[in-house]
């Protein structure tokens, strides 16, 4: 009995500690993506490279550790879940998130996903992955935490100063303060909202898929490959070409970037899948505010962004 209790405590500690570490990684990744996009990288190309590298990095580990957990026959339900996870996680979430980062800032890009716990909570409740019991303290805390995440995300997005760092005095006096929201920021927030919706669907569908395929590394690998294929088809339809940015970094730089991105994404997604199977989608998503704070600090240090309230 004591062994079971100790194992459960250790599992809780690893899950919570790992989810906090993930937020550090997500914050650094958001700032780094902002830098790459400023160099001229295409969001579709980055998503494709990242997904292909994730598949290559994770496939050996999935085969070695989880091949005994693979189902002998894939049901129609599992195939649909794999397609939805791939579409929402790579094609929608990653590409829209990168577009949003390019049009807004890394800080806002990590703030908007704080809306995800609310959306995830609703979706998980609809598909009966989460149960609501208002007489239970744990359920009330979950709902309260979700509301804090949503309010925090909205506050950060609305109160961020949209004006440039240095505005000429004549321009400042002549322009009428009708609205601080410019077209670029509105479009960027729209992309981020689409990314939040994709992330929410992805998290809930992962939790459902892990019931039939209890192999998080394998799930991440196969959905990365499918997602890369879907994103490549979308890029071909829109731009009639696939540009990986060879002229920006060169072959060696591109390979290094892909391996780094694939390794980081693979480890994060695999651990996230493991935590999803044990703690549920809502608990996992409630750690995202940590990433927001870290992203603001990193943006201040590395990119020189200003931290100020909008006026």
Q: Is the pLDDT confidence value at 175 over 60?
A: no
**Average pLDDT of span 160-188:** 54
Beta strands in the chain (DSSP E): none
Contacts of 231 (CB under 8 A, 6+ apart): 44, 47, 48, 51, 90, 91, 94, 95
**Between residues 279 and 129, which one has the greater pLDDT?**
279
pLDDT for 3 equals 61
* Residue 309 in domain: no
Q: CA 56, CA 43: separation in Å to the nearest integer?
A: 20
Tally of domains within the chain: 1
For 57-78, what is the mean pLDDT?
Answer: 90
Do 54 and 197 contact (CB within 8 A), yes or no?
Answer: no
* DSSP code of residue 90: I
Tokens 């979430």 label which residue?
Answer: 93
Name the residue with tokens 């410019």.
182
Handedness of CA 202, 203, 204, 205 (dihedral sign): positive
Domain-located, residue 177: no
Q: Does residue 69 form part of some domain?
A: yes
Per-residue tokens: 110: 């990590």
170 in any annotated domain? no
- The boundaries of the domain holding residue 140 are 2-161+183-303
Work out the angle at residue 98's Cα, subtended by the Cα atoms of residues 155 and 116, and round it to the nearest 5 degrees: 45
Q: Measured between alpha carbons, how far is 78 from 100 in angstroms, rounded to an integer?
A: 31
In a domain, 190, yes or no: yes
Domain membership of residue 171 (yes or no) is no
User: Is 293 inside any structural domain?
Assistant: yes
| DSSP helix/strand/coil, 133 | coil
Residue 269 domain flag: yes
Residue 180: pLDDT band by 50, 70, 90 thresholds? very low
Highest mean pLDDT among 78-87, 209-218, 277-286: 78-87
User: 3-state class of 286 per DSSP?
Assistant: coil
Site of tokens 């405590």: 9
What is the rounded distance in angstroms from the CA atom of residue 9 to the CA atom of residue 11?
Answer: 5
């Amino acid at each position: 009995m004591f062994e079971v209790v100790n194992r459960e405590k250790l599992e809780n500690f690893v899950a919570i500690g790992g989810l906090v570490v993930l937020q550090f990684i997500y914050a650094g990744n958001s700032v780094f993506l902002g830098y790459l996009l400023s160099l001229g990288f295409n969001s579709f190309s980055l998503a494709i490279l990242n997904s292909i590298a994730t598949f290559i990095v994770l496939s050996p580990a999935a085969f070695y550790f989880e091949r005994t957990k693979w189902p002998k026959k894939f049901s129609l339900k599992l195939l649909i879940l794999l397609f939805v996870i791939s579409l929402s996680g790579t094609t929608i979430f990653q590409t829209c998130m990168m577009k949003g980062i390019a049009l807004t800032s890394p800080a806002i890009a990590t703030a908007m996903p704080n809306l995800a716990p609310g959306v995830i909570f609703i979706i998980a409740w609809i598909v009966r992955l989460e149960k609501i019991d208002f007489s239970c303290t744990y359920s009330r805390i979950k709902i309260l935490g979700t509301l804090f995440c949503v309010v925090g995300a909205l506050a950060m997005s609305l109160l961020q100063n949209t004006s440039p760092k240095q505005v000429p005095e004549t321009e400042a006096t002549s322009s009428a303060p009708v609205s601080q929201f410019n077209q670029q920021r509105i479009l960027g927030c729209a992309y981020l909202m689409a990314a939040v919706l994709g992330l929410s669907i992805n998290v809930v569908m992962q939790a459902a898929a892990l019931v039939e395929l209890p192999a998080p590394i394998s799930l991440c690998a196969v959905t990365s490959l499918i997602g890369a294929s879907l994103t490549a088809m979308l890029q071909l339809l829109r731009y009639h070409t696939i540009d990986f940015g060879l002229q920006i970094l060169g072959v060696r730089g591109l390979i290094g970037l892909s391996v780094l991105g694939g390794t980081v994404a693979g480890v994060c997604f695999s651990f996230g899948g493991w935590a999803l199977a044990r703690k549920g989608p809502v608990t996992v998503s409630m750690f995202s505010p940590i990433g927001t704070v870290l992203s603001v600090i990193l943006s201040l240090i590395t990119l020189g962004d200003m931290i100020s309230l909008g006026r």
